[in-house]
Each structure stands twice: as C-alpha cells, then as structure tokens.
C-alpha cells in the first residue's frame, strides 16, 4: 500500500515522496537540485500531559493544517535547503515531531514543538559523521526511551544506541551500510511501514519495505 509519488510541473519533476495509498500528506520526501533537500519526520512523544489537549485545540479550534500537508506545500514551493529548514522550523504544526532535513554535505534534526523548535542537532564540521534520532529527546535524557514499545528486542532496549554502535564501528558510511543498519533487529521498529535512503548530491532514492521478522525474509527493495 506504499508507492513513490513523483510530483511534476510542466513535465519536470518538482519533488518526490514515499506515499501511503489514500493518504495525501508527506512523511518522507526529496527535492532534487544542487542545493536541494530531503525531509523525514519521526514521532516525538508528548513531553507532558497537556500536550495532547493542545494538539486537539490546534487542530479543531485554531484549524491548523496537519504538518504533513504543510510539508507537501514546502516541498512544492521552496527549492533550496536553507529556506526549507527555516520553513520546517517556523511553520505552525498541530503537535510535536522530529523533522530530519538533509542537504548537500549538511543536515539538521529539528525537535519541533507545535509553535517552533525546542532544540536542534546540526550536522557540521564540529559534529560527528552523522546525527541520529529515533523518537525520544535523548539530549534531554528522556526516560521514555527505556520503555520503547516498538523495539524488536523489547522494553528496556534502545534502538538508537544500537544504531550508534553499528555506525561508529564502520570505517565509512555508505548507502549499503545504512540499509543494513535500518534492517538490524536492534535498530528496526516493529511498526515501520517503509524506509527510504536518500542522497540529494548523488540523486539517490532507495525505498524499501522493512524486513519481515515473522515470515523470515529480508527487506524488500521498492525502487
């Protein structure tokens, strides 16, 4: 029920996104170009009990757009990394989430609240070779990470820490390595619908279905 949607104008590709049948909003997308960008969202769980109530007020009282539709309009109208990061940082959302944005040799993770950025993790010369996020504010020592119900290995296991170990042990980061890390039992989330490896500089788009744990087969490459 997933497919790669290629959005065009005048016969030319504007952006592409991995889509779910019947769902018009964007979860994962890429806009090509020398200063293009990719966007991927992760769940960022509410930090306090009042967050869910605020989400409903934003949706039904303030009539805010769902963030996936906002991202679709950003991909459609903004053609460069810097302006896209600004839009992903400042556009009002209904609720909290992570926005993971990558460009050519640059990137940032935006921990979004409904009204703005709570914190950001940039990829730059002073950082490591990568930045990584699952669903928890680990820079703020979010205790909920220890109770992650999506881990294949069960409660108490950190998918993020397993991913860090695999990435740190590798001499070089390659698309093949990233594919293996995504499908490692210690990293994979049980509720993953699809996964995409993107590289704006190389024009790489590799979408796949996650490895099927119960049926004993590996990940299925879609594109």
Q: For position 45, what pLDDT does the model report? A: 87
Whose CA is closest to 66, among 77, 76, 58, 54?
58
Distance in angstroms (rounded) separating the CA atoms of residues 84 and 18: 18
Q: For position 220, what pLDDT does the model report? A: 58
Please give the domain boundaries of the chain with CATH numbers for all domains.
2-221 (3.60.60)
Spell out, as residue ranges, where the chain has pLDDT lower than 70.
Answer: 125-127, 212-223
Whose CA is closest to 196, among 204, 207, 186?
207
Q: For position 90, what pLDDT does the model report? A: 97
Distance in angstroms (rounded) separating the CA atoms of residues 198 and 135: 20
Q: 3-state secondary structure string, the chain?
A: CEEEEEEEECCEEEEEEEEECCEEEEEEEEECCCCCEEEEEEECCCCCCHHHHHHHHHHHCCCCCCHHHHHHHHHHHCCCHHHHHHHHHHCCCCCCEEEEEECCCCEEEEEECCCCEEEEEEECCCCCCCCCCCCCCHHHCCHHHHHCCCECCCCCCCHHHHHHHHHHHCCCCCHHHHHHHHCCCCCCECCCCCEEEEECCCCEEEEEECCECCCCECCEECC
The answer, as to whether pTM is greater than 0.85, is yes
Q: For 119-177, write each residue's pLDDT tens digit.
A: 999 997 666 789 999 999 999 999 999 999 999 899 999 999 999 999 999 999 999 99
Residue 74 neighbours by CB under 8 Å, 6+ apart: 39, 84, 87, 88, 91
Task: Please report, in angstroms and rounded to a whole number, the separation of the first and last CA atoms in the chain.
Answer: 14
């Amino acid at each position: 029920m997933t497919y790669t949607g290629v959005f065009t104008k005048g016969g030319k590709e504007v952006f592409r996104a991995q889509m779910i049948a019947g769902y018009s909003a964007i979860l994962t997308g890429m806009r090509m170009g020398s200063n293009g960008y990719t966007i991927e969202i992760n769940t960022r769980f509410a930090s306090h009990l009042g967050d869910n109530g605020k989400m409903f007020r934003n949706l039904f009282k303030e009539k805010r757009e769902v963030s996936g539709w906002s991202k679709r309009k950003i991909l459609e109208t903004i053609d460069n990394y810097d302006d896209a990061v600004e839009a992903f940082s400042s556009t009002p959302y209904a609720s909290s989430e992570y926005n993971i944005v990558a460009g050519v040799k640059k990137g940032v993770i935006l921990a979004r609240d409904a009204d703005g950025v709570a914190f950001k993790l940039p990829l730059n010369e002073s950082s490591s070779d990568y930045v990584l996020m699952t669903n928890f504010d680990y820079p703020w020592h979010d205790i909920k990470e220890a109770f992650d119900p999506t881990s294949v290995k069960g409660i108490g296991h950190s998918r993020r820490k397993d991913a860090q170990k695999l990435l740190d042990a590798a001499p070089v980061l390659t698309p093949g390595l990233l594919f293996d890390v995504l499908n490692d039992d210690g990293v994979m989330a049980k509720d993953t619908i699809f996964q995409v490896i993107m590289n704006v500089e190389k024009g790489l788009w590799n979408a796949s279905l996650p490895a099927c744990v119960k049926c004993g087969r590996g990940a299925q490459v879609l594109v």
